[in-house]
Structure 1
């Protein structure tokens, strides 16, 4: 049994067990995406918290040879773990029927991730810096928008099924 099969065999019964109450709201793939994405977002936030509060000390950190602020170092550390976890969950649990090559999927997943980071940055600056909205509700709104953006990108671009 390979890694992908083992991951699917462990996670799918657990995720699918909680699906019935949501059956009228989401199809199964969307529910799996929400559970995997939400779990990965929680992992990212936990890693950020631990890195920011317990690993990195001082305001400027030497991160892989570059001076960065502590919160950016924590962000990069969290992303370096949550990115491969998110890709793995999407590839082997959520979008397992995609027949694109793994390298194509990885490149597209990276593109969607980087574009989400850029959109998050730009939207936050627009909403808070330009329109003077409150930061936390603005970020919450952006998370909803970018979650929808990522779902559609992952479904119809990164992990799409090509007709053969």
Structure 2
């Protein structure tokens, strides 16, 4: 299975690298791969969320006996683990392929960085929308940019760092 993941990651990396030359003077190859694979994972997340919300949950509340979950939160709870894992695999096998840390350690660290990103999103939106009274969509865009930069450097120096 690992061999398949490595080969698939190389294939995806080579495909991304095909489009890299015009951006060479603006971004490192690694940052370009990070951005493209991250954007692809976001697109996958949006598509999966749409399908789960509209066709699996069917916009219905989900009763669990002790609590009822709203359809948009239920769809999030179903899709989040899938796209968390797909994002991890893309970063491990496409972007940060030189790391010599064990896969389990990388996954735990990746999940920690994602957790911090969730907190940055939450508190950033609270600050920009509720305290500074900025519009939500531009606020989300600013927070996403901050998270992207934070996440790239965190993944590079913490999650997928090279020991030696």
Distance 1:63 1:80, change over 3 A: farther
Partner of 1:118: helix, strand, or coil? helix
The gaps in structure 2 that reach 5 residues or longer are none
Q: Provide the residue aligned with 1:132 in structure 2.
A: 133
Q: Provide the residue aligned with 1:98 in structure 2.
A: 99
Distance 1:59 1:13, change over 3 A: same
Alignment partners' CA distance in 2, 1:32 and 1:140: 20
- Spell out, residue by residue over 1:42-96, the C-alpha distance to the aligned partner (whole angstroms, 9 max, x if none): 1111212222233224553246985322111111222121111111111111101
Contact 2:49 2:75 (8 Å CA) reproduced: yes
Report runs of 4+ in structure 1 exceeding 6 Å deviation: none
Contact 1:63 1:73 (8 Å CA) reproduced: no
Contact 1:109 1:158 (8 Å CA) reproduced: yes
Q: Give the TM-score, by structure 1 length.
A: 0.91
The gaps in structure 1 that reach 5 residues or longer are none
Q: Provide the residue aligned with 2:7 in structure 1.
A: 6
Distance 1:63 1:162, change over 3 A: farther
CA-based RMSD of the aligned residues comes to 1.9
The alignment of Structure 1 onto Structure 2 pairs a total of residues equal to 163
Q: Give the TM-score, by structure 2 length.
A: 0.91
Q: Provide the residue aligned with 1:33 in structure 2.
A: 34
Range with bigger deviation, 93-102 or 2-11: 2-11
Range with bigger deviation, 74-83 or 92-101: 74-83
Alignment partners' CA distance in 1, 2:112 and 2:49: 22
Partner of 1:113: helix, strand, or coil? helix
Alignment partners' CA distance in 1, 2:63 and 2:91: 32
